[in-house]
Structure 1
Amino acid sequence: MKTTLLRAGLGLALALPAAAFAADVPQSFTATYNVSQGGSPLGNATLTLKAAGNGQFEYSNKVVGTSGLAAAIGASSSEVSQFTWVGKVPQAVSYKYDLQAFKPKSRTLTVNGNTVQVQDNNKSFSYPLQPGMIDRNTVPLALGVALHGGAKEATFPVGVKQAIETQTFKVAANEKITVPAGSFNAVRVDRTDQDRGFNAWYVPAKYPVPVKLAQKDGGDLTLELVKFEGK
């Protein structure tokens, strides 16, 4: 299982009640996806958003390998983000990433005052905080909220390992797609700041996360929505 699998959850519905978009931002949900690599089944991903107290929210992306080598070695990954809604932006408080595979990996990101501190396995980094910074795990959520608000493109300052990376996305087309959760008239969003082979399909009037996500960079991975439960 490649590291990109953890980030694709971007990281990633049947019918979301309007109340779930109270104040134009989602409050809680659980979404499950099938994950494939190069067209072959690889595992399952579960995205969960819930209140964490003190005005903060927790957004997690957990992946378990269920087929092929990923299942044989018991590969799994977990990304957990703590954030606060600042307007319609899930501004980062902390982020933790763990990969269990042949070579376990971990990364933590913590906002401490005006500084972002990162621990990547045994290496440490720090850089200045930029207002409105999100972490890489919450990018799909931030994008879904922006689309729900009518945006046709969005730019986010994203805290990564050694710096803040500006990531831009744009609505490219309207397409009908079919995933295990059903058939949808969706908008396809492409990442435009770099040629990463990233595409995500949203139904922004109803769903805060993609119904499908495909990323070629690092493993040719695809996530397809199976079930969505929101409050």
Structure 2
Amino acid sequence: MKTTLLRASLGLALALPAATAFAADVPQQFTATYNVLQGGSPLGNATLTLKPAGNGQFEYSNKVTGTSGLAAAIGASSSEVSRFTWAGKVPQAVSYKYDLSSAFKPKSRELTVSGNTVQVKDNSKSYSYPAQAGMVERNTLPLALGVALRGGAKQATFPVGVKQAIETQSFKVGGNEKVTVPAGSFDAIRVDRTDQDRGFNAWYVPTKYPVPVKLAQKDGGDLTLELVKFEGK
């Protein structure tokens, strides 16, 4: 199950000092819960958690459990766990681990930044490619975008570490829209992906939350996430 968003380029040399310098401007800890829908029908629930992990690093996890339909029938659940440092206001990747469990064949992917190299293990296959300053991965992309929006950005481009390379992804504010989700009704900012047509839209209220109140993506299964509850800063 996919949830995708953003990234920005800042110097690697800023990574550790920035964790302190921007402590008041970037989120430090929160838990957000979502309903997950597929094609408009209930599929499951998701829990996003950010917490300090020590040594200037943070852990950001996204755990999804299937509770309805086929997802429940096959016992489907997924877990994405990222480690990053705040490089300025960008959650710069340190590592990422994805696991999908079900009655069918499980899937896994691990990404690790080691020096100037990104190493990826995707199921039984391995890849490596050069690292880039300010690189994020797919799990932390929505968080990176939310922080950028809170800083007043109207558009942003991020280097995203994927399976075999760094992929440049661009996003732009598409306008203001009224959005109603289980957490309430909001005057939200709609963000669209612009570097290619992936059927991706996200709605943010950046003055309140660093993550979207709603996210819709057709690539990967026509999934929609709707915020139920947010706790933290």
> 1:217: how far off?
1.4
Match of 1:52 in 2: 53
The within-5 A match list for 1:162-173 is: 162-173=164-175
Q: Give, in whole Å, the separation in 2 of the partners of 1:127 and 1:148.
A: 31
RMSD (Å), alpha carbons? 1.3
The within-5 A match list for 1:43-82 is: 43-82=44-83
Q: Which deviations, in whole Å up to 9, do the C-alpha atoms of 1:145-170 show, x marking residues without a partner? A: 00000000011000000000000000
Q: Which deviations, in whole Å up to 9, do the C-alpha atoms of 1:85-110 show, x marking residues without a partner? A: 01000000000000002120000000
Match of 2:3 in 1: 8
Match of 2:210 among 208, 211, 231: 208
5+ residue gaps in structure 1? 12-20
1:134 and 1:157 in contact (8 A); partners too: yes
TM-score by length of structure 2 reads: 0.91
Over 3 Å counting, the alpha-carbon distance change for 1:78 and 1:9 in structure 2 is: farther
Match of 1:42 in 2: 43
> 1:188: how far off?
0.2
Alignment partner of 1:206: what SS? coil
* 1:28 correspondence with 2:23: no
* 1:217 correspondence with 2:219: yes
2:38 and 2:223 in contact (8 A); partners too: yes
TM-score by length of structure 1 reads: 0.92
Given residue 92 of structure 1, which amino acid in structure 2 is its aligned partner? Answer: A
Alignment partner of 1:85: what SS? strand
Alignment partner of 1:218: what SS? coil
Give the ranges of 4+ consecutive aligned residues of structure 1 lying more than 3 Å apart after TM superposition.
Answer: none
5+ residue gaps in structure 2? 7-21
Match of 1:135 in 2: 137
Over 3 Å counting, the alpha-carbon distance change for 1:181 and 1:9 in structure 2 is: farther
> 1:23: how far off?
2.4
Q: Give, in whole Å, the separation in 2 of the partners of 1:161 and 1:8.
A: 15
Match of 1:185 in 2: 187
> 1:218: how far off?
2.2
Given residue 202 of structure 1, which amino acid in structure 2 is its aligned partner? Answer: Y
Q: How high is the sequence identity, in percent, across the aligned residues? A: 85
Alignment partner of 2:24: what SS? helix
Over 3 Å counting, the alpha-carbon distance change for 1:150 and 1:34 in structure 2 is: same
1:107 and 1:118 in contact (8 A); partners too: yes
